[in-house]
A and B are shown apart, each in its own frame.
Chain A
Amino acid sequence: MDRSSKNSGGKLPEVRKRKDAPAGTNSQQTRPNNSRANKRVKFQDARNIRSQPPDAALDDGRLDLEKFLKAREYEIKALESSMQKCKEVNATRVFQQVPRAMRRRTASHNVKRVPKRLRGRARREMIEDNTPTVESRRRRPRTTRARIRAETAKRLGMLAAKQRRKRTEKAAVEGKEVAATPEVIQSRAPRPKIRRNVLNDPPKTTSKFRKRQVNKTWLPTHLWHSKRARMTEPGKPLWRFAIPLTPTEKCYRPTHRASGQKGAVVWDTSYMSTIGLYGLTEGAKRVLRALGLTQEALWGARGQKWRAGLRKWSGFLSKRRKDGRRNIGPATIVWNPEAPTDEGESVESTPPTNSQKQLLIRTHPACFLEVFNELLKLARMQSPQMHIEDLRFEIGSIEIVGPGSTEALIGILKPYYDNVEVEGCQGRIFESLAEVTNPSSLPKDAALAFSIRDPRLSYPPKRVAIPSGMDQSLVETLTNWPIEQHLQPYGLYDRNARHKASQLPSQKSINRRKGSSLPGKELCVTSADPPIPIMLLASRPEMTGQAQGVWTLLAPWKCILPIWYSLMHYPLSTGGNPRLGGLDEQRQVAFEQGSPWFPGDFPGTDAGVDWELRSREKRRSAWDRRPKGKRVEWKSLELGGGRKGEVGDGLACDFEYLFRLPKGAESNARVMGSSAGDDPDSMELDHPEEGDRVLSSKAHPPHPFAMIAHITKSVFNEFTSAPDATTLPQHSIVTVGLGFVSRGVANTCARIYRLPTRAQFVSEPSTQAEVPATDPPPPTSPEALPYDLKEQWLLKLQPTSQQRGRHPPAPPRMPPGADIQTRKRLQARSISAGEFPTGPKAKANQTDIGTHPLCPGEEDLIGFVTTGSFCLSEGKGMAIGSISAEKAAESLKMGAEEGKLCIVRNAGENVGWLARWELV
């Protein structure tokens, strides 16, 4: 045995914990043992540092410079080689060499998951470490169900084989040749049915995946995403879609960097819903006005471009109710330009005719049904009637943000038509934007629509040549934006064009064509490659500043996947590829730009109510799961000043508490679709999917939360400028962004207080002269807060308040090295200086919390934080929240500067931090 030879070599320790296996056992068992021993020898060898005997540094017993230096050199070499060897022999597995973003969990037990060049080593390591490698195909079924399934599959296979054999025998007897493959009848793919005024069915999927999509729909890129991102749980889809929540790799900081500084982040937002609205111009105008697009700018000369289809409109839709308007959710609306009737006629000069119009309304799936029902109601009211189409599974979309976004899009979206006459010049203009690093530098709300080639024809995508230096022509393009030339109706609105684009050639045929052409050469467009109609929308973040804009790419549902593949492989000029993002990243990017995210930050809309109730449930179950000692006990929270217990529900943005609404009988009753004041006859529609849920919620009385109404910034501003002319709806809230003045980070559900306002009980002026004016006496009753609480908070505004605050400086310390006499003298002086307490000391947390001002009382509660964390773009705590509009307006009367100050306190904590709110 080779082991005995090793033992005799003296490298292994003599005493072994484990006995050797008897000689008769099979080699399979002894091998790992043996290799472990080998490894041990290897480690010991690597950790051994070579050294020299003293003779090496001596020249025949005498000191010698030459030898002295040689010995040091030898030592340096020995130590360096030891460091190197130790590093090499380190216990790393070969799959750790794969870049982090490309690692797969299965690589630890499946060699096929590591790159080919590493497979040999991976295999060897797995054998050495005795890794269990089981092929799932050969695994024995564990559960009864799996066993029955396997047995059935086996029996079916046997049956099929038997039938096949019989058939061939029969054929042999009859003397006929059996056709190797049955004849395939080629047929035209059916055009998907889009019914008018009715919700559409999700696309038919392959039978293999159909069972998994009973309660939800997969995005076109689902298979790609499910390998790289955490998806919604199978039983709990979000808005009836399986949506990627966050990539499996850690990506908080990389996403921040890619979205703002270098790179790009891409989302498959095909879950966003699109609705088509068709009818005459006047009717469309009336419908849109009824949806809240009442700004005069939209319908006057300034809205001309929007109505011509050259710009998009993004904003909040609202619907009418008995008691005023209620906001639904954000939407983007784009008109379809009309075909030019005359050659010389330009858009500006066309008289407003009452012609047939087509509009796309893109909205969030959380409020889709609400918008759809409202639109349906409005469209039927028009005469002649308009009609709407549910284009949810017809049009998919991709969103991309970051400095590299424009470049990446240009790299993969190649205009189909070279001729400007055919489709206008929008494709060409888009191609000239390669230098643009921020879509917000485009004209506001720019929309571009053209047809592209199949991106697989030029796969893998190549880096776009970016002209160096600011080109004058680009500046000209951006200012003039000459996209009206040869304007044609957009292909995306055309059902036939979308259908044609969905018939892309198979990947197999593309591969075959690639194989027959020269390597690295792009494929030419043939008649088999249909043009893919797309639309690009550039949006600017709400907040002014240098924040990155977002590109939204709309394309037929079936074309999203090839575009996605190319986009994810585009080599950015700044290095790397566009990053993948999930829902969490979308929220993160919105938060870092200081804009609210729908529906989470809009608790005053039905979709937001639903989201808030859902997240309440989630928070509660997480809280319930924690052991008692490790969770916040809301009742025993000490807020200071004798107050005990959290204000409202600690696990909720408790707007019911804020507005003193009655508590719901069922806290988890869902509010969906329609709430109080909605027209009941809108429910006559048949809802193949949403129906069950809506009807079930209809049975319950609406949650009190649903009585809260969201108002937009403009409505609020109108109210504050003329409070007598306009009135606020009851229980209205307005969304605000919060920035902390100095320290502090807010979490979701944090409480927002205004500065203390109530008329304070003023204590009698004290007769004692010694009492310093800055140190107030403790309040007389335990409930009373210090009368100068507001001043205390305002003092926090000044940066130096910590140094010269109202708290006495720390007592002087004894100088080091003082002898006993000095010590005595100092001690005596400190006593005689009057360090006596001025009165009975206040109890802890009575007037302050560890020298921090107390939180204001409940009457000063104005709202709650819906999103909050440390903001990487600002470098300090930021938050998005909602505050009562009435109280916000009240506090604004104190002054624009002071009125916007507020105090934010996390739920379950007793220390609040000063912040400033700003309408968003």
Chain B
Amino acid sequence: MVRLKDRYLLVNIVYTDVQPGHAKGPVSDLMLYNQPTTGELKPQHLLKAVRSEVNALFGDCGSGAVGGLQVKYLSQATSTFILRISRDHYRLVWAALSFMNRLPFKDGRPCVYRVVRVSGTIRKVEEEAVRRAKLFILAAKEEMAGKPTSGALDALLRGKEQGRSLAMVVDDDGDDLGRDDSEMGLDG
């Protein structure tokens, strides 16, 4: 029996139109970057945007390859979504996401689509999403308490492997699974 192999991509939408250090009052930088997305964003919009980007980057061949793209989960409140794509072509989608810089509307807000986890099963992606949500809670609480260096925030930025520096991750584009693509630093 032939088994269809998929990849699941966990993506965060990070807003880039906020200046660092401009947070006022009871709102931290972290919350500003990860603020909720507008309710108008529907799965269809995302699909359409990714497909058109793939088409622009890889042509007809590329857009044909990502025909099976699906949105498994979209939470506007946390600006998180999960995409499903066949295993052979997930890099096209990833590349397209890296090149998108706005919400998929006319004059959409500038943002960055950050792929935080690629996995072969949705379960592992879900587990990662839960882990990150927990870290977000921790980091937000710590930031509000006024701690200058927050461990949870570090963990959020660096992903699972604590020892890896950002520079190495940028170099290492040959890896495909379970690696964080975190060249999009928050302070960029």
Contact = CB atoms under 8 A, between A and B. Distances in A.
Interface of A: 49, 51-58, 63-65, 68-69, 71-76, 78-80, 82-83, 86
Contacts of A75: 75, 77-78, 80, 129-130, 133
B24 to A, nearest CB: 10
Contact of B36 (A49, A54, A76, A86): A54
B147 interface: no
B31 interface: yes
A72 B137 contact: yes
Contact of A71 (B27, B78, B82, B122): B78
Among A58, A65, A86, max chain B CB count under 10 A is at A65
B39 interface: yes
A79 B130 contact: yes
Contacts of A76: 130, 133-134
Given A57-B78, A63-B32, A73 B129 contact: no
A695 to B, nearest CB: 54
A79 B77 contact: no
A683 to B, nearest CB: 59
B36 A57 contact: yes
B140 A51 contact: no
Nearest to A52: B77
Interface in B6-52: 26-28, 31-32, 35-39
B126 interface: yes
Nearest to A71: B77
A79 B133 CA distance: 10
Contacts of A82: 126
Contacts of B26: 64-65
B136 interface: yes
B144 A65 contact: yes
A51 B137 contact: no
B3 interface: no
B39 to A, nearest CB: 5
Contacts of B38: 54
Contacts of A86: 122-123
A57 B136 CA distance: 14
Given A54-B77, A55-B39, A57-B36, 17 more contacts: A51-B76, A53-B76, A54-B76, A56-B77, A57-B78, A63-B32, A65-B144, A71-B78, A72-B133, A75-B75, A75-B78, A75-B129, A75-B133, A76-B133, A79-B133, A83-B123, A86-B123
Interface string B67-88: 0000011111110101000000
A57 B27 CA distance: 13
A52 B76 contact: yes
A82 B122 CA distance: 10
A224 to B, nearest CB: 36
Contacts of A79: 126, 129-130, 133
B73 A49 contact: yes
Contacts of A54: 36-39, 76-77
Contacts of A71: 36, 75, 77-78
Which 10 interchain pairs have the tightest Cβ spacing? A51-B75, A54-B36, A52-B77, A71-B77, A57-B36, A57-B77, A54-B76, A72-B133, A49-B73, A79-B126
Nearest to B37: A54
A58 to B, nearest CB: 6
Contact of A80 (B77, B130, B140, B141): B130
A64 B31 CA distance: 8
A76 B31 CA distance: 17
Contacts of B76: 51-54
A79 to B, nearest CB: 5
Contact of B39 (A53, A73, A74, A83): A53
A74 B127 CA distance: 14
Contacts of B77: 51-57, 71, 74-75
B72 A49 contact: yes
Nearest to B72: A49
Contacts of A57: 35-36, 77-78
Contact of B75 (A52, A55, A64, A69): A52
8 contacts: A51-B76, A51-B77, A54-B36, A54-B38, A54-B77, A69-B140, A71-B77, A75-B129
Contacts of A56: 36, 77
Contacts of A63: 27, 31-32, 35
Nearest to B128: A79
Contact of A72 (B73, B78, B127): B78
B1 to A, nearest CB: 14
A489 B30 CA distance: 91
Interface in B97-138: 122-123, 126-127, 129-130, 133-134, 136-137
Contacts of A78: 75
A71 B144 CA distance: 17
A161 B36 CA distance: 85
A58 B133 contact: no
Contacts of B126: 49, 79-80, 82-83
Given A73-B137, A75-B129, A51 B73 contact: yes
A52 B73 CA distance: 11
A54 B13 CA distance: 13
A69 B32 CA distance: 13
A86 B123 CA distance: 9
B74 A68 contact: no
A73 B78 CA distance: 10
A76 to B, nearest CB: 5
A83 B122 CA distance: 9
Contacts of B78: 52, 57, 71-72, 75
B31 A65 contact: yes
Contacts of B31: 63, 65, 68
B168 to A, nearest CB: 15
Contacts of A51: 73-77
A762 B129 CA distance: 72
B10 to A, nearest CB: 10
Given A76-B130, A76-B134, A80-B130, A65 B140 contact: yes
Contacts of B74: 51
A54 B35 CA distance: 9
A57 B144 CA distance: 17
B89 to A, nearest CB: 22
Given A57-B78, A75-B129, A76-B134, A68 B73 contact: no
